[in-house]
Amino acid sequence: MKKSIFLLAIYLFLFQYCNSQPVTPEPEETGTWASAAEINARLGKGINIGNTFEAMPSWQSPFDPADLKRIAGLGFTHVRIPIRWERDDRSMSSAPYTIEPKFLQTIQSVVDEALKQKLHVIINMHHHDALMANPAGEKARFLSQWAQIAGHFRDYPDSLLFEILNEPHDKLTAELWNDYLAEALQVIRETNPKRCVLIGTAEWGGVGGLQALEIPNDPQLILTVHYYNPFQFTHQGADWVEGSEAWLGTQWRDTEFERQAVEEDFKAVIRLSGEKKIPVHVGEFGAYSRADLDSRVRWTRFLARWFGQQGFSWAYWEWNSGFGIYDPQSGQYEQRLVDALIRDPMP
């Protein structure tokens, strides 16, 4: 018995001693910053949480945190979160242009849950209508908001990205946009010197605005473009597009001619990406639900696979509304579209 007690005492001493010794910690992921090319590769396949935080109250879809688990479970690797910061219930329209702390916390909770699900996250400034209509008058607010957003998220890992502005247009001309994006980037760099930032094109963010874009000298940039061609197919029957009822019945058959049209549209993007060594993210593409499903599947499948072949990351528009792949009322997926995005091989 005494021998057993003695051996037990020795064992307890050794256990306590070993557990008191310092352990070499694992490297902290938040302290590492990958290159823009590496991060763009990690972005991979994404989807927009659309018609939610960028919407006005009359047409805003409620956000369900469980959606992020669903999205990750389907095989997507990032989410793009469009955000309308200028709403009266979210920020001040006059100096000092303060963003409501409660709303910042709301967005932070979404980002935190997405990161918890191992998703990369893009947050942007979306539908800043006042800035488009009056750039000079709204510039101070625009820059102040980015200073606040960047400061709030300054300690987040490199899996969070910023996108300066969605689809500049109207009086925010291509020339002005070059100045505004450079100044906003400078503001962001004061608190986030290494974070990846996405920059889009003027003239509604499409490939047509690429020629006028001046890309700042910054290694942590990703070029983002949107793609909805052919527009009469992707927006047929859309009630916010004048004359779109006449387009109903337009099909996309995945012919060689149709594929060549896509390739032609992206020639300038691919050329600029190579010349400037800047990776490409297709931030929006999708076909509205009033198009026939067979055509939507063909168009979506071809683009998703072709973008991947070019080394582009992409984010489908969108999760659960008019272009969506998920019905929150029934809890059902449009499985053929899900497969077109994630699983189907290139025909």
Report residue 255 as tokens. 């012919």
First to last CA, the chain: 76
Sequence-ordered list of residues with C-beta below 8 angstroms from that of 224, at least 6 positions apart, any chain: 163, 198, 199, 200, 205, 280, 281, 282, 283
167 has catalytic annotation: yes
Which one of the listed residues 138, 203, 284, 318 is annotated catalytic?
284
Do residues 225 and 280 make contact, with C-beta atoms less than 8 angstroms apart? yes
Amino acid letter at 111?
V
Report residue 144 as tokens. 């102040």
284 has catalytic annotation: yes
Do residues 267 and 322 make contact, with C-beta atoms less than 8 angstroms apart? no
State the burial class of residue 61 (Cβ atoms within 10 Å of its Cβ: 0-12, 13-18, 19+). Answer: middle
For 44-196, where are the alpha helices, taking DSSP H only?
66-74, 101-116, 129-133, 135-152, 174-191
- In angstroms, the CA 318 to CA 167 distance is 16
Report residue 156 as tokens. 């987040």
CA of 92: how far to CAs of 32, 71, 88, 148, in Å?
35, 33, 7, 12
Report residue 134 as tokens. 């009056």
Sequence-distant contacts of 61-70: CB under 8 A, at least 24 apart: 61/320, 61/321, 61/328, 63/110, 64/328, 65/109, 65/110, 65/113, 67/319, 67/320, 67/326, 67/328, 68/110, 68/113, 68/114, 68/116, 68/117, 68/119, 69/117, 70/326
Which one of the listed residues 113, 167, 203, 318 is annotated catalytic?
167
What's CA 316's distance to the chain center, in Å? 9
Report residue 77 as tokens. 């690797």
Active site residues: 167, 284
